[in-house]
Structure 1
């Protein structure tokens, strides 16, 4: 590994950029000290160094690639001689890269304010930016790696705005805005983060960590900053089921000695002293950069929380949703692969959902049958909220209770409060279903649940979700009911994007039955049969 990989010319360019773009005396002196420290390290370490121990090779092999989008506060936090975050991340098996001033297409690295995040993630040029970000392996801050690149893309994406973003105007109770006028307000900031969720939901193969902006010493907007960051921690993801987005409240950690956002005794702890909303750890008089003491405290809290978030994401990571990978063995699945002899199907009396039109013949052409469960349960699998103890969903082939043929899909679920579980069938390749008008199936029993349709993302390997809610009051619990839904009735959930957007059948990737619980918890059993397409 070359020394230039760690403290190379790019690091010097960043420091010189900051020196020429900052006019404050404190900031200039600070940057000059950093340049001197960097070259002292060059003299100490020489032109290159090698890593060859068995321990480092093992750590490299088992490391997860992480990239951090930041400016000067993040740079100090990562630095070996300041917050030591990069070093601690490496000890915990993360391979760290970062972006800084001047990075990327059109120097997008210069723009990390909250109002800039749509440019990174959801606007027209975002795919090119993200393609480069996911492949970035450079070091743009003063930290030294001890392991080599394990290969592949960055899987964990940390992004943080700098401390000026704590000067938010508006009212603490302002709702998210639907548009952007460029003003740094609570409403606009909430609106930006809500917009990001649509893209994040399409990339379950990535873990996104939103790091809150550090506090400032000025108290004028301090209450607003506190209110916004509490919204991020407690409300932003309230209706977002996937586990691939999380928040670290750096603001809170830096506002008081006893303020924390961490995992303690196996549980997430977010504690703070009411009324303390300004920077407790300033780097110096008139300097809103956090001190090394504050940064080291943040490192300890963050490592515990990141390990927790990463574990949750890994446990719930829906690998089959990545079209570049084959389907793994599903959880809680009992396959019945024995073939049954062909025979004429007798269809029992079926009740019809009032919103779905007439009945249809059970014996369809082969190309419009998705699954009649005549040959087992091949391809069905379970995804669930593993962060909630007691969440379970199992399914089996039911040969005694079916709408027709020899069997049906029986799903049993038990959900503690505020949990979810999904029984899904994901196609190995996308299918065009545009010659059909919608999807139908027969259902018996169960409470309310959602039917999901998966659509391949247009500019990536992720999936878009479209849903229709099925209420138990729309069907009789003890008889088979036919549910017949046109494509246009499947809409994006609010947490993924625009609820007015409907499913496009040209790039279908599968379907699922999705169960959720409120504060009371839910349990039940539902039977599904004859999942097929109609014209």
Structure 2
């Protein structure tokens, strides 16, 4: 094609794009399915403090560290272990007030380094004894003391599914499909069942925000003409798959269906950040809902719900009367 024709084609696409591109390039509102699933009902158990000191470990990266710490100017004492952060949710303080002794494992430590969905089964299979001894990263609890509660989560990239995949899925991945993710969590349960005296609290990965498209008009238009998905459409599809997967994770008819023990529970962090199905994207992102890290408001809301949830779960698991 001649240079003149290329210039004309590019000009035509840009002009045509002006007819379709959302005003000011803003991404459209989430419109995918937001069907909710019922979660395990813990309402029959008291939400009061446990009444006995319990050691609790949270395995996390940046989002979890910010959820734990108090809001304030950023002050980091170890990688993603904060003394304060603008996105702080105050969870550590609120748990401590209930009588829990809170410990952390994050980036750079043996237990905290790998936290994607495909890492959990190998980590708990091969390093469970070390998990239960963590005080802070690679530091260990005094002899004879163990973590009775282990809270663990993956981060928001684990909600960027590439498709449904094929049943029954591969627990090792590596492609992040819904079926591979289901297989990974299913392969984890036999390891958790070996520790009936330990409560495992899985937090679903936090939702991604719906970001403004940065695609040039000509590229967006070309994709529309060729029938290829735009960046926004890819993000919407990922968010819809994330809703479907996390519904399965928390549903008694999903991940834990047939699991005979009472030492595993799911807290739906994803659902909290999406305002319980108002969207399939986070509505509590930081920096004006442009950053995937949840804001202080979103984290404080999460902490307020998570503390009584854990109080009920420890009673269900038989850790306290």
Question: Which interval holds the TM-score relative to the shorter structure?
Answer: 0.5 to 0.7
**Aligned to 2:209, which of 202, 214, 217?**
217
**Aligned to 2:197, which of 200, 205, 217?**
205
Partner of 1:18: none
**Aligned to 1:68, which of 52, 58, 80?**
58
Could you list the per-position Cα deviations for residues 411-456 of structure 1 after superposition, in whole angstroms to 9, with x for gaps in the alignment?
A: xxxxxxxxxxxxxxxxxxxxxxxxxxxxxxxxxxxxxxxxxxxxxx
Partner of 1:92: 98
**Aligned to 2:285, which of 282, 285, 304?**
282
Partner of 1:137: 135
Partner of 2:28: none
Partner of 1:244: 263
**Aligned to 1:156, which of 149, 154, 159?**
149
Partner of 1:114: 117
Structure 1: segments with no counterpart, 5+ residues? 1-58, 141-147, 260-271, 318-535
Normalising by structure 2, report the TM-score: 0.66
Aligned equivalents of 1:192 and 1:316: distance in 2? 30
Measured at CA, do residues 206 and 60 of structure 1 come closer, stay the same or move farther in structure 2, by a change above 3 Å?
Answer: closer
Alignment check: 8 A CA contact 2:52 2:320 kept: no
Aligned equivalents of 1:197 and 1:98: distance in 2? 22
Could you list the per-position Cα deviations for residues 117-162 of structure 1 after superposition, in whole angstroms to 9, with x for gaps in the alignment?
A: 122122xxx1xx322221111279xxxxxxx989610011111001
Aligned equivalents of 1:190 and 1:83: distance in 2? 29
Structure 2: segments with no counterpart, 5+ residues? 1-48, 72-87, 211-234
Q: Secondary structure at the match of 2:202?
A: strand
Aligned equivalents of 2:92 and 2:142: distance in 1? 14
Measured at CA, do residues 85 and 315 of structure 1 come closer, stay the same or move farther in structure 2, by a change above 3 Å?
Answer: closer
Which structure shows the higher helix fraction?
2
Measured at CA, do residues 299 and 101 of structure 1 come closer, stay the same or move farther in structure 2, by a change above 3 Å?
Answer: same
Aligned equivalents of 2:157 and 2:170: distance in 1? 23
Aligned equivalents of 2:59 and 2:112: distance in 1? 8
Which structure carries more relative contact order (alpha carbon 8 Å, separation 6+)?
2
Aligned equivalents of 2:176 and 2:50: distance in 1? 41
Larger Rg: 1
Partner of 2:305: 301
Q: Secondary structure at the match of 1:89?
A: helix
Could you list the per-position Cα deviations for residues 170-200 of structure 1 after superposition, in whole angstroms to 9, with x for gaps in the alignment?
A: 13x9644145341111111100100011111
Alignment check: 8 A CA contact 2:57 2:149 kept: yes
Q: Secondary structure at the match of 1:118?
A: helix
Which structure shows the higher strand fraction?
1
Alignment check: 8 A CA contact 1:167 1:222 kept: yes
Could you list the per-position Cα deviations for residues 81-103 of structure 1 after superposition, in whole angstroms to 9, with x for gaps in the alignment?
A: 21000011111121100101001
* Aligned residues between the structures: 227
Aligned equivalents of 1:188 and 1:304: distance in 2? 32
Partner of 1:188: 180
Aligned equivalents of 2:171 and 2:115: distance in 1? 19
**Aligned to 1:230, which of 225, 247, 255?**
247
Measured at CA, do residues 176 and 250 of structure 1 come closer, stay the same or move farther in structure 2, by a change above 3 Å?
Answer: farther
Alignment check: 8 A CA contact 2:203 2:267 kept: yes
Normalising by structure 1, report the TM-score: 0.40
Alignment check: 8 A CA contact 1:95 1:149 kept: no
Alignment check: 8 A CA contact 1:222 1:277 kept: yes
